[in-house]
Amino acid sequence: MSNVQHITTDNFQETLEQSGVVVLDWWAPWCAPCRAFGPVFERVAARHPDVTFGKVNTEEQPALAMEFRVQSIPTVMVIREKTLLFSQPGMLPEKALEDLVKQAQELDMNKVKQKVKPSAARAAEEAGN
């Protein structure tokens, strides 16, 4: 039985707010590499019931795809505590996806947020000038 969720604009924010690590597969039904990656994503998801795995159909959810600047599919993203940790277009080998999930779980998010906050503040200042 799969624990992969179908992610839409209706449940996206709720998914991020209620979950620790979220792994997203941005895909479309017509995309052959997306269909080939699907079983890999499902197998890794089955080994991590404590992680939220979600598939975002870019054909059905174009607003989400645009918001996250998805330009190529499949794209894999990892989000933890509402912080984007990883985003990469293309299929990932099963071992690489497995390693990515483990790394996201082991990260010290306090250190990550300290690094993200200064760069975000700097970008905001530059935008204001």
Catalytic residue set: 31, 34
Among candidate residues 90, 93, 54, the one with its CA nearest the CA of residue 72 = 90
Whole-angstrom Cα distance, residue 95 to residue 47?
12
Output the six-digit token pair for 48: 């991590």
Helices and strands (H, E) in the chain, number of each type: 5, 5
Whole-angstrom Cα distance, residue 85 to residue 70?
15
